[in-house]
Amino acid sequence: AGMFPLIHMGRIWDGFFIMPYPNTRGPIWDNFNSPLFWDVVAISTYLTASFLFWYVGMVPDFASIRERTTSKIKKRIYGILSFGWLGSARGWLRFETAALLMGGLTAPLVVSVHSIVAMDFSAGIVPGWHSTIFPPFFVVGAIFSGFAMVLTLMIIVRKVYKYEEYVTRRHLDAIARVLTFVSLIMAVAYVSEIFIAWYSNSPYEMYVFFKNRAVGDYAFEFWAMITCNAIIPQLFWFKKIRKNITMVFIISIFINIGMWFERFVIVVTSLSKTWLPSTWHSYTPTPTEIAIFVGTLGFFIMGILMFLRFLPMMAVSELKGVLKETSTVTENIENTENHE
């Protein structure tokens, strides 16, 4: 996500033009009213906060790797990454305070960032984009797609690395319940969009929703979006479906596909037929666009595999705390039974 403001420009070597800085060619500054500038600020802030939130949680694990490795080079690298973590009581207190603070800052940042990105669209006058529902719609969509992707990766890692004792069916069931609830919100958002287009009585808005999307060139993408995001996740209402890991995995894949179709429908359908009828056309991706899409998938998969290779897949420090609490509860139960 942090790279895409540059990729969207088409000329990556001119990316510094979107940053507000004085230069030798006169007082040429960015237009702070431009949605492109909002996008850059929002995504860069989101990237920084997400990295800090992840890194703070990894400090104790870096220290654990430092203590276990036999390589002097790795010991030095992980020692630097762990900031000399010793595991003292004061260190744990500060760690928990920092983690709580970063979590508290990141949560509202998620809402603000996706709202700002949504306003990139809603601030324009393009039919299909000019809607006040976009900010909350994008926030809910981010939560929906994020949970679905986490569920997909969680099931794969659970199966490949034999993590059934750590990632239990109870965790998968909880995520499935969240997806069911968020899917209902997505369905309400889709219905609201269609209703607003009809109620506005704007011929341009009605054309986008009722002709170009519902029955036009992009009908397949539109109804695939509705089916994958609003209909298929309702299968999670059935307990047998939620307890079947294969079905949970398949439904999570459908949600990921549906969210991709949602982005496609939002961007392509509104731009393929704009105010000038002579420019109307049916969109067909070019080889360059296909290469960028495949490249981003490859980059994401490579990042996940590198993370699994060099870093702990689960927070070791949190697992130790959970195991300690579990053992304490078990010991108390056994003592109670023996006493009785």
pLDDT digits (tens, 9 = 90+) for 123-156: 878 888 888 888 899 999 999 999 999 999 999 9
Are residues 141 and 227 both part of a single domain? yes
pLDDT of residue 256: 93
What is the secondary structure of 224-254 as a DSSP string? HHHIIIIIGGGGGGSHHHHH-HHHHHHHHHH
Relative orientation angle of helices 316-339 and 35-68, to the nearest 10 degrees:
60
Are residues 187 and 232 both part of a single domain? yes
**Among 284, 309, 329, where does a domain finish?**
284
The set of residues, in sequence order, having a beta carbon less than 8 Å from that of 36 and lying 6+ positions away, is 5, 18, 120
Of the two residues 95 and 152, the one the predictor is more confident about is 152
Average predicted confidence (pLDDT) for the chain:
82
pLDDT of residue 207: 85
* Domains identified in the chain, total number: 2
CA distance 209 to 197: 7
CA distance 245 to 236: 11
pLDDT of residue 2: 67
Is residue 106 within 8 A of residue 49, CB to CB? The reply is yes
Highest mean pLDDT among 55-59, 72-76, 99-103, 256-260: 256-260
Residues listed for the chain: 340
In the predicted model, is pLDDT for residue 183 greater than 90? yes
Are residues 80 and 170 both part of a single domain? no
Are residues 104 and 135 both part of a single domain? no
Are residues 139 and 251 both part of a single domain? yes
Are residues 45 and 77 both part of a single domain? yes
pLDDT of residue 281: 79
Q: Report if residue 208 sits inside a domain.
A: yes
Of the two residues 34 and 161, the one the predictor is more confident about is 161
- pTM for the model stands at 0.82
Are residues 87 and 163 both part of a single domain? no
Is residue 305 within 8 A of residue 161, CB to CB? The reply is no
Task: Indicate the pLDDT class of residue 27, thresholds 50, 70 and 90.
Answer: low
Please state, as a whole number, how many other Cβ atoms lie within 10 Å of the Cβ of residue 40: 20
Q: Report if residue 264 sits inside a domain.
A: yes
Are residues 174 and 222 both part of a single domain? yes
Are residues 115 and 141 both part of a single domain? no
**Among 74, 94, 123, where does a domain finish?**
123
pLDDT of residue 63: 86
Closest residue by Cα to residue 127 from 58, 209, 34, 65: 209
**Backbone torsions φ then ψ of 26, nearest 5 degrees:** 110, 180
Are residues 119 and 135 both part of a single domain? no
Q: Report if residue 332 sits inside a domain.
A: no
- In tens, the pLDDT along 268-291 reads 888 887 777 777 778 888 898 888
Q: Report if residue 170 sits inside a domain.
A: yes
pLDDT of residue 330: 42
Are residues 228 and 161 both part of a single domain? yes
Any idea what DSSP says for residue 214?
T
Expressed as residue numbers, the domain containing 83 is 1-123
Are residues 165 and 110 both part of a single domain? no
